[in-house]
Structure 1
C-alpha cells in the first residue's frame, strides 16, 4: 500500500542548520555524544511513529534533552493526526495506583513526570491564540479544560476489594493521597451516590484530563520548544508532522538515524514486528453522556470522577464520559462505533454506572468512540510497557536504529511521561542501558 498523504506540515525555525534531505541512503547513525554529531553538516534525523501519549512524550523529551548545539530534525508520523488514535479516545482518569489502589511499579516517578507534562501542555494551550489547522478546528481556542482538578472517588463494591483498599490506602503517595471516607462524606461530594459497603476511597489530588486537548497542548509546547531552541543561536531544531500511514518500517530505511515506534496496538501490524511482540489487544467503547436541559439536577461542579465497574470521567456539570467495554483480541482500531456496537456498550455500562450513581438513568447518550489498546504481559512488577531497541526483530543489517515504546495498555496516560523520557534519553545516547531491565527483559523471553 502506498502512503496516504492528508497533510504535510513542517515547523522550521529561522537559523535552523541543515536541510531536510529525504533521499534514501543518505543517513548514517550518529550519536549526539560524539564529536561527529556536534560538527555534522546535516541534522541528526529521527522518525517518531504515532502522535499519541507515547509519541508526543518522546518528541518532547528528544527536544528537551538533546544537546543545545545538536542539529536535530524530527519527523512525527500519524495517519490520523494529533491524538487521533486510542490515546485521544481514553477517559483521562489519572492517578498512580492499580485498580486495587496499590501503588504501581515506578508509580511515583510516572506520576511526577506526568504532572510536569500536563503543566507544560496546559501552559501552551492557555497561551494558544492563533488558528492552527494541524491540531484540529482552526477556530478552537481550548475553551474546554486540559486538566480538570477535581479528584477521583472509588467506592468499595465487595469485601475483597474493601480489604485491599484499606490496606493500600495506608501506603499512598503524599502527592496523591488516598482518604477513606464514609457515606455522608461521599454524598457531600456526589449527592445520592450509592456505597454498597458504606465506604469509599477518595483521591483528592487525582485529576481528570481531556486527552485530545492535552495532546494538542503538548504538540504546541513541542513547537514552542523548537522555536526557543533554534532562536538560542546554537544548533537548529526541526519538527515535522506528516499525516501518513506507515505500512512497513522498510519504507523509512535509509532516511533516519533512528525510528521510534509508538503506535500502540498497530505495532504488531507492521510486517517486521508482526507476531514478535507479547501484546494482547483490547477494544474499548466509551460513551458520551449528556444531561438534558429539562433536568434540573446536575453533577456538582466540584464533584470527583468515579472509578468503579464502569467509570465516569466528568467533563462538566452536564457532560461526562462513561466507560469502558472490553473486547479482547480485537484487531479493529477504528474509533468509529456502529449503532449496534454502541447499543451493546450502553446495555453493559449503564447498569454498572447506575448501581453506583443512580442519577445516570437521567442522562442521554450523545455518541461513542472506541480505541484499541495494546496490553503487555503480566510480570512481578505488574504490567509495565515494553521498551527497548528492536534491531534484532527488524533485522540487524539496517542502516538506522529501531526502538519500541509500546504496550502502555489502559495506563498510557500515567506511563507516557517517565518512560517516554527514558526512551528519548536512550535514543540520544544510542544505549539501552538507560532503560530499566524490567521493561526490556520481554525481548529475552521473546527470543
Structure 2
C-alpha cells in the first residue's frame, strides 16, 4: 500500500500597525490563505490596538465626498467595509448601539447646506447615490424632525439614512478578536494551522525583521514616515487632528433623540448617544506628534476653533460640557485626478538592499481610511499571498515609479 504524505508549508507574516489598515490586512491574510497552509501572522504595534489615528477617528462612514464626484471605487469600498463591520460586530458581544461601547450606530448622517460651494457635488451624489446608501434632499422642517433645533440656513439638507457611525476603538478591538476566532476555526477544519498574535513592540527599522518573516507589511500610517528606510521617500504629509468629547450635563434636557443622525459640516458631530458626542476635527499640518494625548492648552485652542463651526449648524452645542480630547496623526496622500488615494505596493527597492523578506506598504489612508481600509486590505493580502503586485489597481501603486530611479 502506497502512503501519500501531505506537505504543508508555513508562511510567516508581520503586519506593522494595529489600526484600520493593519487589522484589515491581518484578517484577509488569514481568510484568503489556502486551508492546507500553515500561516502565522504577527501584528506589531508599539502603542496597542487602535493606538494611532484610527483609534480616534470620527467614525462617520458613507461612500460620498463633498469635493470629488464620484468618489473612486466607492461602491466596492462601501460594501467591503460594511462586511468587515458585520464580522467585527459578530465577535464583539455588543448589541446596544446607543451605548458608549457600540461598534456601529445605524442612525444615518445629516449634512445641512450652509453655502453654495459644495451643493452641486452633493446634488450630483444624490442623483447617483448607491442603492444601499441613498441620499435624500430634505428641508429644514424635515431636518429638525431628525435633530431638534438644527440650523439649515438655505432650507436644504442632505440626509443619508444608510450611513453609519462607527466607534473606532471598539471596532478595532472586535476585529482583532474576529481574527483570533477565524484562525482557530480555520485550523480546526483544514490541514494547515492558522495563528495570529499581537505584540506590543516598537520597530526602529525594517531590517530588524529581515529573514524572520516571509513578508512584512507596513501599515503604520503617519509613523511609516519615521522609519529610516522610508524617511523622505513617501509622498505623504502628516496632519494632527484633535477630537473633543462633549457630554450633556445631568441637569440639562436631552437634545438628541434616539433616532437622531450624526452631523456633517465644517465641523462634524458624531453622536455616541443622546447625551454624548464627539466633535472634530482640527488640522495641524506637518506635525510630528503622533501621541493621542492632548494638553489642556491644545484642547482649549481646539474648542475655540471647533465650537463656532459646530454652532453654525447646531447652536445648542453651547449647552454641552467638555469631557476630554484625543488626537491622531493622519498620513495624508497626494491629490490625484481621482482624489486623494492611499499608497500601496512592494517597497523592496526603496529599502535598497537584497534581503530574504519581502516588504510591502499600505499607508496614506488620510481622512477616508474607514471607507477604504477593508477593500484595500483585501487587495494587499492577495498581493502578499500571491507575491503579485498586479492585483492592486495601478492608481494605488503609481506613486512609486516617480520615486525609484535606477
Does the pair score TM above 0.5?
yes
4+ residue stretches of structure 1 with deviation over 3 A?
38-42, 100-103
CA–CA separation in structure 2 for the residues paired with 1:160 and 1:282: 24
Q: Does 2:209 align with 1:242?
A: no
Q: Does 2:141 align with 1:184?
A: yes
Tell me if structure 2 keeps the 8 A contact 1:286–1:368: yes
SS at match of 2:288: coil
Is the alpha carbon distance of 1:353 and 1:143 closer, same or farther for their aligned partners in structure 2, counting shifts above 3 Å? Answer: closer
Tell me if structure 1 keeps the 8 A contact 2:13–2:42: yes
Aligned length: 397
CA–CA separation in structure 1 for the residues paired with 2:362 and 2:28: 13
CA–CA separation in structure 1 for the residues paired with 2:154 and 2:190: 63
1:84 to 51, 59, 68: 51
Is the alpha carbon distance of 1:196 and 1:143 closer, same or farther for their aligned partners in structure 2, counting shifts above 3 Å? Answer: closer
Q: Counterpart of 1:446?
A: 403
How does the TM-score come out when normalised to structure 1? 0.87
CA–CA separation in structure 2 for the residues paired with 1:237 and 1:436: 28
| Cα drift, residue 312 of structure 1 | 0.2
CA–CA separation in structure 1 for the residues paired with 2:260 and 2:114: 20
CA–CA separation in structure 2 for the residues paired with 1:283 and 1:215: 20
1:62 to 8, 22, 29: 29
Correspondence 1:215-230 to 2 at 5 A: 215-230=172-187
SS at match of 1:283: strand
CA–CA separation in structure 2 for the residues paired with 1:177 and 1:260: 36
Q: Counterpart of 2:69?
A: 102
Cα deviation digits, residues 324-375 of structure 1 (max 9, x gap): 0000010110000000000000000001101100110000000000000001
SS at match of 1:221: helix
CA–CA separation in structure 2 for the residues paired with 1:143 and 1:392: 45
SS at match of 2:384: helix
Q: Does 2:315 align with 1:348?
A: no
CA–CA separation in structure 2 for the residues paired with 1:99 and 1:47: 36
SS at match of 1:240: strand
| Cα drift, residue 425 of structure 1 | 0.3
Tell me if structure 1 keeps the 8 A contact 2:85–2:171: yes
Greater CA drift, 381-390 or 39-48 = 39-48
1:273 to 217, 220, 230: 230
CA RMSD of the aligned region, Å? 1.5
| Cα drift, residue 380 of structure 1 | 1.0
Greater CA drift, 294-303 or 185-194 = 294-303
SS at match of 1:314: strand
Q: Does 2:355 align with 1:388?
A: no
1:297 to 254, 275, 297: 254
Correspondence 1:118-157 to 2 at 5 A: 118-126=85-93, 144-157=101-114
SS at match of 1:356: coil
Tell me if structure 1 keeps the 8 A contact 2:8–2:192: no
1:397 to 350, 354, 376: 354
Tell me if structure 1 keeps the 8 A contact 2:254–2:275: no
Is the alpha carbon distance of 1:304 and 1:127 closer, same or farther for their aligned partners in structure 2, counting shifts above 3 Å? Answer: closer
CA–CA separation in structure 2 for the residues paired with 1:409 and 1:165: 21
Q: Does 2:278 align with 1:311?
A: no
| Cα drift, residue 268 of structure 1 | 0.7
SS at match of 2:101: coil
1:263 to 208, 211, 220: 220
Tell me if structure 2 keeps the 8 A contact 1:60–1:222: yes
| Cα drift, residue 42 of structure 1 | 5.8
Cα deviation digits, residues 44-102 of structure 1 (max 9, x gap): 11100000000000000000000000011111101111111110010100001113473
Is the alpha carbon distance of 1:345 and 1:300 closer, same or farther for their aligned partners in structure 2, counting shifts above 3 Å? Answer: same
SS at match of 2:69: coil
Unpaired runs of 5+ residues, structure 1, are 1-37, 129-141
1:45 to 2, 12, 15: 12
Tell me if structure 1 keeps the 8 A contact 2:94–2:101: no
Q: Counterpart of 1:164?
A: 121
Is the alpha carbon distance of 1:99 and 1:404 closer, same or farther for their aligned partners in structure 2, counting shifts above 3 Å? Answer: same
Greater CA drift, 97-106 or 235-244 = 97-106
SS at match of 1:176: coil
Tell me if structure 2 keeps the 8 A contact 1:96–1:103: no
| Cα drift, residue 181 of structure 1 | 0.5
Q: Does 2:32 align with 1:75?
A: no
Q: Counterpart of 2:83?
A: 116
SS at match of 1:444: coil
SS at match of 2:118: helix
CA–CA separation in structure 1 for the residues paired with 2:368 and 2:210: 31
SS at match of 2:340: coil
Q: Counterpart of 2:325?
A: 368
